[in-house]
Amino acid sequence: MTFLADSHAHLIDKAYRKDSSQVIQRALDIGVKLIINLGYDIKTSSKAVDMAQDYPFMYTSVGVHPHEAARVPEDYLQNVKELAQNKKNVAIGEIGLDYYRDISPRKKQKQVFREQLLLAQKMGLPAIIHDREAHKDVLKIVREEQGGKNSGVFHCFSGDWEMAQECIELGFYISIAGPVTFKNSDSLRDVAKRTPLHRLLVETDCPYLTPVPYRGKRNEPAHVKYTVETIASLRGMKWEELAQVTFTNTKNCFRLD
């Protein structure tokens, strides 16, 4: 059986309130044997850590998403640190900047991003980076705080190939999500095709960003297969081969045996 990995899922989302165990079973049935489960803030990160205790193939990343940056309590960094010490936790994230929705003031987003990047570095954990329409500032902060000193992944990559090259030079992985299956995704397809194989990850970011042919419906880890199939065909590979490579890369990125 071919193994697949979903490097970024939000199974704690209320979208799975009623059927998370069935969703997880469907993923397993299709061969998804590694899932990184993430929250958005302290409360949901804590939920993700609890959920991972029940599944040997599930790990977590904890942190505060830029949308939540303005709402964090004073001592949030201590909370992130404590959750990050759990033995099922393998990263800090998702952290970053979101100028598309601009829910938190940009100044606050930058502060919370910087603080968590430094925490990741101090704890020796990779960072999972969220960047939406904030390429320049995200790269600047990563370069200043972490370039060469730690690594991680640019999740749901949305930049162009020029940016991807810079992320790769900084030591990061590039994670491709469902939008690569959409019609108007030439720039992302170009990145998916050109990223060196050993730096490529795949993810669902479920419940969001559902790939074709389920676009518009709720996403789930089993659907990562459509993203793998699309990238494999762009690269002229068998999907099984790409599944194997991205499974191994996910283990390497998050330092799992």
Nearer of residues 90 and 232 to Ni ion, judged by Cβ: 90
Rg (CA), the chain: 17
User: Rounded to the nearest 5°, which phi and psi values hold at 224?
Assistant: -60, -25
- DSSP code of residue 118: H
Of 77-85, 108-116, 181-189, 197-205, the segment contacting Ni ion by CB under 5 A is: 197-205
**Which residue matches tokens 């954990």?**
125
Q: Does 13 bind Ni ion (CB under 5 A)?
A: no
CB of 102 to Ni ion, least distance (A): 17
Among the listed residues 200, 205, 219, 250, the single contact to Ni ion using CB under 5 A: 205
Residue type at position 204: T
Nearer of residues 150 and 219 to Ni ion, judged by Cβ: 219
Identify the bridge partners of residue 32 per DSSP, sorted by sequence position. Answer: 4
Of 14-22, 78-86, 205-213, 231-239, the segment contacting Ni ion by CB under 5 A is: 205-213
Nearer of residues 98 and 205 to Ni ion, judged by Cβ: 205
CB of 155 to Ni ion, least distance (A): 6
Per-residue three-class SS string for 76-111: HHHHHHHHHCCCCEEEEEEEEEECCCCCCCHHHHHH
Of 26-34, 164-172, 198-206, 215-223, the segment contacting Ni ion by CB under 5 A is: 198-206
Contact 157, 178 (CB under 8 A): no
Residue type at position 59: Y
Shortest-Cβ-distance residue relative to Ni ion = 205
Give the footprint of Ni ion on this chain (CB under 5 A).
205
